[in-house]
């Protein structure tokens, strides 16, 4: 599963790189985000109803022994996320990586037909392989997959499968020429009570911002669904709001992945202290209105709280 996840992630990351560069060279393309949302919404309304739950579908499949995750989830979420980034939506990669990995894994599990237990191992491996190969964070991907197996706790029965898939997926992605974002190495700090206290405060801040982001996405989605029952209209309106926010902010920093903002935060003091809040709002509207992607580093932008 690691190999398939690595290949899918390599295609995905390369496509993201290409469309992001193209959008940066042609910023006026962002104005077409509402139209892109309308067209994508029509397509997914017709062909993507049974995969609309996204990552929640993966969780339900793991725990409720639900039906097979459709194989078409892989190409549909890949293309949908790439197009979201092409036209300027604020989104990340993790949701897409998880869904691609789980879709590929579940369909491979169906080939062997050896029961729910093996299927669960395949799904954990798919989640870890997708997450690990997209970010190059092998241990984090493994722990994340184990949390998928048992909500609210870590289930170690799938440890070997998840860790193996994470390592192999990352190796395959790198062999295919993908270079992950390199963040500056943090200097050494002596761990005294004052530093430890700051880390604790920062950890709580990150958790709070992450929780707020999740609730904000759900709130936007709930209200958008009430106001605009049709997905195409929700995405068109959501795209329009993103364009308005983009013009009001005067910067393209909060579109796409937002990786450049994180890198700048390591070396520049000119990054706005509330950049994390701006990015959170951009991403919540993008995802809540129906565009595809992931959390887009929203909680990582919590660096502003520590300043």
> What is the pLDDT, as a whole number, of residue 282?
94
Q: What is the mean pLDDT of the chain?
A: 83
Q: Is 75's pLDDT higher than 90?
A: no
- Which residues have a Cβ under 8 Å from the Cβ of 159 and sit 6 or more positions away? 142, 146
What architecture does CATH give domain 2-175? Orthogonal Bundle (1.10)
Q: Which residue has the higher pLDDT, 210 or 108?
A: 210
Joined tokens for residue 193: 């009570």
Could you report the per-residue pLDDT of 163-183, keeping only the tens digit for each? Answer: 999 999 899 999 998 888 887
Cα separation of 4 and 133, whole Å?
A: 10
Could you report the per-residue pLDDT of 186-196, keeping only the tens digit for each? Answer: 788 888 899 99
The β-bridge partners of 90 are: 256
Cα separation of 227 and 127, whole Å?
A: 34
Q: What is the pTM of this model?
A: 0.84
**For residue 90, which phi and psi values (nearest 5 degrees)?**
-95, 105
């Amino acid at each position: 599963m690691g190999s398939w996840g690595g290949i899918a992630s390599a295609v995905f990351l390369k496509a993201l790189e290409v469309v992001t560069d193209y959008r940066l060279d042609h910023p006026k393309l962002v104005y077409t985000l509402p139209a892109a949302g309308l067209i994508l919404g029509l397509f997914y309304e017709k062909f993507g109803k049974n995969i609309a739950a996204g990552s929640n579908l993966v969780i339900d499949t793991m725990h409720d022994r639900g039906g097979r995750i459709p194989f078409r989830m892989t190409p549909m979420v890949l293309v949908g996320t790439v197009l979201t980034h092409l036209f300027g939506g604020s989104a990340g990669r993790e949701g897409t990586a998880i869904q691609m990995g789980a879709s590929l894994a579940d369909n491979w599990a169906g080939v062997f037909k050896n029961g729910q237990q093996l299927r669960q191992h395949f799904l954990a491996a798919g989640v870890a392989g997708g997450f690990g190969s997209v970010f190059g964070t092998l241990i984090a991907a493994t722990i994340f997959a184990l949390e998928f197996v048992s909500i609210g706790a870590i289930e170690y029965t799938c440890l070997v499968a998840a860790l193996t898939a994470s390592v192999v997926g990352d190796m395959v992605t790198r062999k295919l020429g993908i270079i992950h974002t390199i963040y500056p190495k943090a200097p050494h700090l002596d761990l005294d009570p004052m530093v430890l206290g700051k880390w604790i405060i920062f950890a709580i801040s990150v958790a709070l911002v992450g929780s707020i982001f999740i609730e904000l996405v759900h709130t936007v989605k709930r209200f958008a669904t009430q106001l605009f029952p049709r997905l195409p209209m929700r995405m068109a309106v959501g795209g329009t709001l993103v364009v308005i926010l983009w013009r009001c902010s005067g910067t393209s920093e909060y579109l796409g992945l937002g990786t450049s903002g994180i890198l700048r935060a390591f070396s520049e003091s000119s990054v706005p202290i509330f950049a994390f809040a701006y990015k959170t709002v951009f991403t919540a509207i993008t995802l809540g209105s129906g565009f595809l992607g992931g959390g887009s580093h929203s909680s990582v932008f919590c660096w502003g709280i520590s300043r």
